[in-house]
């Protein structure tokens, strides 16, 4: 059923005249009559009683008129909703990120919310390794990862430059040191993250290369639990600098440079390379590109 036919019928029923409806719709009277005939044929019901002098709706006509008015209201609501989406004053923004990369989103989300407070923002917890494929498959529109996806089907833009920080408790024997050698760490108990990542592999290879034991006697599922154990002097850890920035400032954790192990982390916002973005996602990308931290 065409929207136009319902609009013509609603106008004829409201005006109680084919000629007045034609004038209002800027159509000829025969065109209006033909539209009504097609609608009646499609519905299999007579909508207008044409036997008398006055235009009278049949029972079916009154029923269809009620629905035509509802459809007209829904069309107006749809047009308004689309206009809001175009103006980024409504809509939904979904971003995939893991526990640590979510932190890099916070300042951008705050800036975005100030500009577009009516957009619903959802950060969906995802495995970093799966985010590029989720974007390609259409399950996510945007994602945040800490590695180069090397996939021509997605586009990546760097939004933050970070590094892995070696952190210890203020009570630890190395807390007062500015730098240490990787060989000084052979007897330490490392609190490790049990999620596989490229940075975990970098650390493992560095210890193997220098023939130093890496004692990962404790593995935890979250950065928060690792941080708390290190603060309690139960071990040491390599963590993203941004995840422990406040603790280092407050001196509840100490960062010590490891001379042989300097690992940069580039945080990237990734999105489809060959598929258009929604209005909300496009606006978020503009905010990120404007406010991203420079190297």
**Do the domains 161-265 and 96-155+270-291 match in fold?**
yes
Average pLDDT over residues 43-56: 83
Average pLDDT over residues 28-33: 90
Confidence band of 85 (pLDDT split at 50, 70, 90): low
User: Which residue, among 34, 30, 29, 1, has the nearest Cα to 15 in the 3D structure?
Assistant: 29
Please give the DSSP secondary-structure letter assigned to residue 295: -
- Phi, psi of 240, deg, nearest 5: -55, 135
Tens-place pLDDT, residues 60-79 = 988 988 888 888 777 776 77
- C-beta separation of 266 from 146 below 8 A: yes
Q: What confidence score (pLDDT) does residue 84 get?
A: 63
How many of the other CB atoms lie within 10 Å of CB of 220? 18
Q: Which residues contact 61 (CB under 8 A, 6 or more apart)?
A: 9, 13, 45, 46, 47, 48, 49
Tokens of 134: 């989720």
Measured over the CA atoms of residue 167, residue 172, residue 178 and residue 179, the dihedral's sign is negative
Average pLDDT over residues 34-39: 90
CATH of domain 161-265: 3.40.190.290
Q: What confidence score (pLDDT) does residue 70 get?
A: 81
Tens-place pLDDT, residues 94-140 = 899 988 888 888 889 999 999 888 888 989 988 888 999 989 888 88
Confidence band of 293 (pLDDT split at 50, 70, 90): very low
Three-class DSSP category at 217: strand
- C-beta separation of 195 from 98 below 8 A: yes
Average pLDDT over residues 173-190: 95
- C-beta separation of 65 from 57 below 8 A: yes
Average pLDDT over residues 258-276: 90
Dist CA 64 CA 48 (whole Å): 11
Q: Which CATH architecture has domain 96-155+270-291?
A: 3-Layer(aba) Sandwich (3.40)
Confidence band of 292 (pLDDT split at 50, 70, 90): low
**pTM strictly above 0.75:** no
Q: What confidence score (pLDDT) does residue 207 get?
A: 95
List the domain boundaries for the chain: 3-86, 96-155+270-291, 161-265
- C-beta separation of 198 from 147 below 8 A: yes
User: Which residue, among 143, 156, 171, has the nearest Cα to 235 in the 3D structure?
Assistant: 171
Confidence band of 89 (pLDDT split at 50, 70, 90): low
Average pLDDT over residues 165-190: 96
CATH number of 3-86, picked from 1.10.730.10, 3.40.50.720, 3.10.20.30, 1.10.10.10: 1.10.10.10
């Amino acid at each position: 059923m065409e929207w136009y036919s319902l609009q013509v019928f609603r106008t004829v029923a409201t005006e109680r005249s084919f000629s007045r409806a034609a004038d209002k719709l800027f159509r000829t009277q025969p065109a209006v009559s033909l539209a009504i005939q097609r609608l009646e044929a499609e519905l299999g019901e007579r909508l207008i009683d044409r036997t008398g002098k006055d235009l009278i709706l049949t029972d079916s006509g009154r029923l269809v008129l009620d629905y035509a008015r509802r459809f007209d209201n829904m069309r107006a609501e749809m047009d308004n909703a689309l206009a809001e989406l175009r103006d980024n004053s409504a809509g939904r923004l979904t971003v995939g990120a893991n526990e640590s990369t979510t932190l890099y989103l916070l300042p951008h989300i705050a800036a975005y919310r100030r500009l577009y407070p009516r957009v619903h923002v959802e950060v969906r917890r995802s495995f970093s390794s799966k985010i590029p494929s989720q974007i390609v498959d259409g399950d996510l529109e945007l994602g945040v990862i800490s590695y180069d996806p090397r996939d021509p089907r997605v586009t990546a833009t760097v939004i933050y430059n970070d590094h892995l920080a070696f952190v210890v408790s203020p009570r630890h024997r190395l807390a007062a040191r500015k730098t240490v050698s990787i060989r000084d760490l052979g007897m330490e108990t490392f609190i490790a993250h049990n999620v596989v990542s490229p940075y975990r592999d970098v650390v493992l290879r560095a210890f193997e290369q220098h023939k130093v034991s890496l004692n990962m006697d404790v593995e935890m599922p979250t950065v928060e639990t690792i941080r708390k154990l290190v603060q309690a002097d139960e071990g040491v850890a390599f963590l993203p600098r941004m995840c422990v920035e406040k603790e280092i400032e407050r001196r509840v954790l100490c960062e010590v440079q490891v001379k042989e192990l300097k690992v940069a982390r580039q945080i990237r916002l990734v999105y489809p390379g060959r598929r258009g973005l929604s209005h909300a996602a496009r606006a978020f990308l503009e905010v990120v590109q404007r406010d991203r931290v420079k190297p």
